[in-house]
Structure 1
Amino acid sequence: MSISYTGIWPVAPTPFHEDGSLDEGGMKRVLDLMIDQGVDGICILANFSEQFLITDDERRTLTRLCLEHVAGRVPVIVTISHYATPIVVARAQEAKDLGAAIVMMMPPYHGALMKGTAEQTFEQFRQVGEVGIPIMLQDAPLSGVDLPVPLLVRMAREIEMLKLFKIECPQAAAKLRALIAAGGEAIEGPFDGEEAITLLADLDAGCTGTMTSAMIPDLIGPVVKDFLAGNRQAAFDGYARVLPAVNHENRQCGFRSAKAAMVEGGVIGSAFCRHPIAPLHPDTHGMLMELLRPLDPLVLRWGK
């Protein structure tokens, strides 16, 4: 599969039944919805998939289920982050063997005090690179690991399979601009994240793709395409239309928003999140629906 590192590559949520067990049928419906939303790729087992609340056995089940069900319709990114390098390497090999197009990983960290150094981070990514599958580096505040631009450029130049960089740190546009300027052709796929809350600035800085949630990629994707095609005003207008919903998701709901919208649209049966994640407050949920309905996104009508 020839892959263009551009467009919208959302994170698939992981649906659960009300008793907390995996909803495998719902997972397939989520993937089908996302493909119908016109996504360019799908990411699974990421933070917005609640990967920190999923067992190792469930990871294996979901990796196989998702890759078999998508069946090459779009490329799939499998998130493999872990503090232990041998575990990350094993996850990368499993993802490759099952047909993943890309793996995504944060630098090694475990809590607030166990963080990989620059050399430890480089070495973990180097070892994953030897598996022979393209890598997306996720630069997210959650890890707490400092990833300065010179380190990222060195990694891009010396680790052949490190091709994509998802930058979602504070002032992401400034870092994207500096990374692209310093790394040149070694930065094959500069992406942003964080539900596209800084999308226009990041596109202006040179990013070629975005990793949002699966809530409204059918409405955000055209913003990316318009901007990259030079249709700036169309991109501005499209983004202004969705920004209140994006802001509410980013600041109030997090990964619970996509599930709430999918329940509303009959995609999945439950918005359950495992403890200690609390359900959305009814008022927060209500405003989310108020903001989404005028946009008429596919998620609200796909399953009806």
Structure 2
Amino acid sequence: MTHLPYSGIWPVAPTPFNDDGTVDLPGMKRVLDCMIDQGVDGICILANFSEQFLISDAEREALMRLSLDHVAGRVPVIVTISHYATAIVVERARLAKDLGADIVMLMPPYHGALLKGTPEQTFEQFAAVGQVGIPIMLQDAPLSGVDLPVSLLVKMAREIEMLKLFKIECPQAAAKLRSLIAEGGDAIEGPFDGEEAITLLADLDAGATGTMTSALIPDLIGPIVTDFLAGNRQAAIDGYGRVLPVVNHENRQCGFRAAKAAMVEGGVIASDFCRHPIPPLHPDTRGLLLDLMRPLDPIVLSWGK
């Protein structure tokens, strides 16, 4: 879709479960096929929107192997490898590289509210992953609670050769992206935004070249990025205006449950089950999501029918 090496739309694949809570491996293949048919530039697996915090180590390895084998190079795949322990992060990076992943993504080291990596420890963990020899995307998300000042990110970008991409989804993401690009220059090869594209236009204005959304409507958000990067600013603004009600409802009301609900509606997967303690979507919240989506006719609502 786009001409830059790290650009476009690289959504997170949801992890489907059966109604009994077991991982739906055939459904995972259908999720990936649907996303490729949505025209994505890449796919991220095992991320927060994949419910990585609700799956076991054995399940994450099985999902990684299945996903990389099934995508089979049709689009690049990012594997999320976040963990507090640097040795585990490095082990996950090595396995992802050995299995054919294109990029790994991780947050800074944290575990709960009180165990957070210092700037030095964050640098050391990313440097250790860099030694594995696979491109890295740094995820700057509020979930970690770790402060990542622009000066630290620029130092990491300049001194860790494999750190190529930065997914910025903290408050005031556009301001941080603008500063990061201005101070980091060519070392910032892939400035991305996230958070379901709720701040996409501001982030593109600030210099973002890509976005990591959910798998809900990437076929509708991707063209916005393409138009903007091609200089078709008004087309991008108009496109964003059309999808914003859906993006807002997903971001503020549904979270990662939105993509799974839509995929059930469209016959992609059989169940939108979420493991405890995640509650199911309220029927009214789900109903409004689908009501907002139907006039836009996204691929997800008809893919499996």
Separation in 2 of the partners of 1:211 and 1:119?
Answer: 27
Separation in 2 of the partners of 1:38 and 1:289?
Answer: 21
What SS does the corresponding residue of 1:100 show, helix, strand or coil?
coil
Separation in 2 of the partners of 1:22 and 1:286?
Answer: 25
In structure 2, what is the equivalent of residue 89 of structure 1? Answer: 90
TM superposition shift of 1:152: 0.1
Aligned pairs for 1:43-62 (under 5 A) are: 43-62=44-63
Alignment check: 8 A CA contact 1:75 1:100 kept: yes
Separation in 2 of the partners of 1:247 and 1:169?
Answer: 16
Give, as a single letter, the amino acid of the residue that structure 2 aligns with 1:143.
S
In structure 2, what is the equivalent of residue 179 of structure 1? Answer: 180
In structure 2, what is the equivalent of residue 40 of structure 1? Answer: 41
In structure 2, what is the equivalent of residue 64 of structure 1? Answer: 65
Identity %: 83
Greater displacement, 2-11 / 118-127: 2-11
CA distances 1:9-54 after superposition (whole Å, capped 9, x unpaired): 0000000000000000000000000000000000000000000000
Aligned pairs for 1:245-264 (under 5 A) are: 245-264=246-265
TM superposition shift of 1:4: 1.4
In structure 1, what is the equivalent of residue 101 of structure 2? Answer: 100
In structure 2, what is the equivalent of residue 142 of structure 1? Answer: 143
Separation in 1 of the partners of 2:106 and 2:61?
Answer: 16
Give, as a single letter, the amino acid of the residue that structure 1 aligns with 2:54.
L
In structure 1, what is the equivalent of residue 18 of structure 2? Answer: 17
TM superposition shift of 1:179: 0.1
Give, as a single letter, the amino acid of the residue that structure 2 aligns with 1:9.
W
Separation in 1 of the partners of 2:77 and 2:154?
Answer: 25
Give, as a single letter, the amino acid of the residue that structure 2 aligns with 1:254.
G
CA distances 1:137-160 after superposition (whole Å, capped 9, x unpaired): 000000000000000000000000
Separation in 2 of the partners of 1:160 and 1:228?
Answer: 26
In structure 1, what is the equivalent of residue 189 of structure 2? Answer: 188
Separation in 2 of the partners of 1:130 and 1:289?
Answer: 45
Separation in 1 of the partners of 2:195 and 2:167?
Answer: 10
Separation in 2 of the partners of 1:58 and 1:30?
Answer: 16
What SS does the corresponding residue of 2:203 show, helix, strand or coil?
helix
Give, as a single letter, the amino acid of the residue that structure 1 aligns with 2:111.
H
In structure 2, what is the equivalent of residue 221 of structure 1? Answer: 222
Separation in 2 of the partners of 1:207 and 1:107?
Answer: 21
What SS does the corresponding residue of 2:164 show, helix, strand or coil?
strand
TM superposition shift of 1:3: 8.0
Q: Are residues 303 and 194 of structure 1, via their aligned partners in 2, closer, same or farther at CA, if it must alter by over 3 Å? A: same
TM-score by length of 1: 0.99
In structure 1, what is the equivalent of residue 6 of structure 2? Answer: 5
In structure 2, what is the equivalent of residue 154 of structure 1? Answer: 155
Say whether residues 1:167 and 2:168 are aligned partners. Answer: yes
Alignment check: 8 A CA contact 1:10 1:212 kept: yes
Alignment size in residue pairs:
303
In structure 2, what is the equivalent of residue 290 of structure 1? Answer: 291
Unaligned runs of 5+ in 1: none
CA distances 1:245-296 after superposition (whole Å, capped 9, x unpaired): 0000000000000000000000000000000000000000010011000000
In structure 2, what is the equivalent of residue 279 of structure 1? Answer: 280
Separation in 2 of the partners of 1:218 and 1:148?
Answer: 33
Separation in 1 of the partners of 2:119 and 2:303?
Answer: 45
What SS does the corresponding residue of 2:128 show, helix, strand or coil?
helix
In structure 1, what is the equivalent of residue 208 of structure 2? Answer: 207
Separation in 1 of the partners of 2:60 and 2:281?
Answer: 25
Separation in 1 of the partners of 2:290 and 2:139?
Answer: 30
In structure 2, what is the equivalent of residue 122 of structure 1? Answer: 123
Alignment check: 8 A CA contact 1:3 1:75 kept: no
Alignment check: 8 A CA contact 1:196 1:210 kept: yes
Unaligned runs of 5+ in 2: none
TM-score by length of 2: 0.99
TM superposition shift of 1:232: 0.5
Separation in 2 of the partners of 1:59 and 1:282?
Answer: 30
Give, as a single letter, the amino acid of the residue that structure 2 aligns with 1:128.
V
Separation in 1 of the partners of 2:30 and 2:204?
Answer: 31
Deviating 4+ runs (over 6 angstroms): none
